[in-house]
Amino acid sequence: MAEKVYEFVIDAENVGGRLDVYLQANLSNYTRSYLKNLIEKGKVTVNSKCVKSGYSLKQNDIVRLTISPPERISTEAEDVPFDIVYEDDDIIVVNKPQGVVVHPCSSTKSGTLVNGLLMRVKNLSGINGVLRPGIVHRLDKETSGLLVVAKNDKAHVSLAEQIKNKTCKRCYLAVLDGNLKEDSGRVETKIGRDKKDRKKMAVTDDGREAITDFKVLERFKNNCLVEYSLKTGRTHQIRVHSKWLGHPVIGDKTYGKEVKGLNGQLLHAYKLTLIHPRTGKEMTFEAELPDYFENYLNKLRKMG
């Protein structure tokens, strides 16, 4: 792909607007976060000078944006186990197993879902760069379940907007330590970095808005099976909200306690509803509980 250069001359109608908002409105094939990243990297200039995303546009400003061809993907294709629930020319819906990291990072260089996708899928969107091709949203390493992947940039933009606008619906099942008092409800807090441990998230006064709906599906002596519906998508949101409610997810080593016989938390993304980027049709996908999750539930049921 050749280098792309866009140039705009600001007219009176757009004077006073933010640079990043203006670019999003005129380059709808790219997400605002992607364009903001280009601005931060100096790929966008105003009158030949680098500026910030919030730059206030002036009449006759010359805005120039350069998009270089994507780097060659250095992440290697690997045979990583996961199920493809649905696939077409635009999207792939996968069922990620527990224990698989979604994309390479400083601590995990291989064996990720992205490595597996590169082995099995020909095309993936390039918006998120060479280490996260096609990745629109993520699941924690020890969380299993459904995740949608974009095969082209147009699909990526559409899916990212659906998540941002809360039209993409994500539902999870979790087993909690103890029983919630209410049968259903909504948790509304702010979530940010834990001030005592920067590797963890926590409910904070200065974090970002986090909204989770919950419904108890089944109660046991010392546990409950809960359906969670995400209204926002903060890091570790369900796990943090479960702890905040006083009932962390069973097996969550970070926000609860380790459970013998489990390799991680009993949290599964079982339902995903989205609008197809090309057809506009609403589609819903479901993934059955993993065997270890179902076995634990059956054990609780036998205990009464």
CATH level 2 (architecture), domain 4-67: Roll (3.10)
Structure confidence at residue 71 (pLDDT): 52
Structure confidence at residue 1 (pLDDT): 53
Cα-Cα-Cα-Cα torsion 48, 52, 54, 57, nearest 10 degrees, comes to: -10
Structure confidence at residue 2 (pLDDT): 66
In this prediction, residue 121 has a pLDDT band, given cuts at 50, 70 and 90, of confident
Class of domain 71-165: alpha beta
Structure confidence at residue 3 (pLDDT): 77
In this prediction the pTM is 0.76
In this prediction, residue 87 has a pLDDT band, given cuts at 50, 70 and 90, of very high
Mean pLDDT of 63-72: 75
Structure confidence at residue 131 (pLDDT): 52
User: pLDDT tens, 247-295?
Assistant: 999 999 999 999 998 999 999 999 999 999 999 999 999 999 999 999 9
Residue 185 has pLDDT above 90, yes or no: yes
Structure confidence at residue 133 (pLDDT): 74
Dist CA 218 CA 123 (whole Å): 42
Least confident stretch, 9-13, 66-70, 73-77, 85-89: 73-77
User: pLDDT tens, 12-56?
Assistant: 999 999 999 999 888 877 777 778 888 988 889 999 999 998 999
Domain boundaries, the chain: 4-67, 71-165, 166-304
**Mean pLDDT taken over the chain:** 89
DSSP class per residue in the chain: ---EEEEEE--GGGTT-BHHHHHHHH-TTS-HHHHHHHHHTT-EEETTEE--TTPBP-TT-EEEEEEPPPPPP-SPP-----EEEEE-SSEEEEEEPTT--SS--SS--SSSHHHHHHHH-S----TT-SSSTTB-S---TT-EEEEEEESSHHHHHHHHHHHHTT-SEEEEEEEEES--SSSEEEEEEEEEE-SS-TTSEEE-SSSEEEEEEEEEEEE-SSEEEEEEEESS--TTHHHHHHHHTT-PBTT-TTTS---TT-SS--EEEEEEEEE-TTT--EEEEE-PPPHHHHHHHHHHHHH-
Single out the residue of 184, 170, 176, 260 nearest to residue 225, CA to CA: 176
Q: Greater confidence, 304 or 263?
A: 263
**Quick check: do 4-67 and 71-165 share a fold?**
no
Dist CA 144 CA 99 (whole Å): 8
Q: Greater confidence, 129 or 169?
A: 169
Residue numbers annotated as active site: 140
Class of domain 166-304: alpha beta
In this prediction, residue 198 has a pLDDT band, given cuts at 50, 70 and 90, of confident
Structure confidence at residue 177 (pLDDT): 97
Please report how the helices 19-26 and 32-40 are oriented relative to each other, as an axis angle in degrees rounded to 10: 130
Q: Is 219 left (phi over 0), alpha (psi -120 to 50) or beta?
A: beta
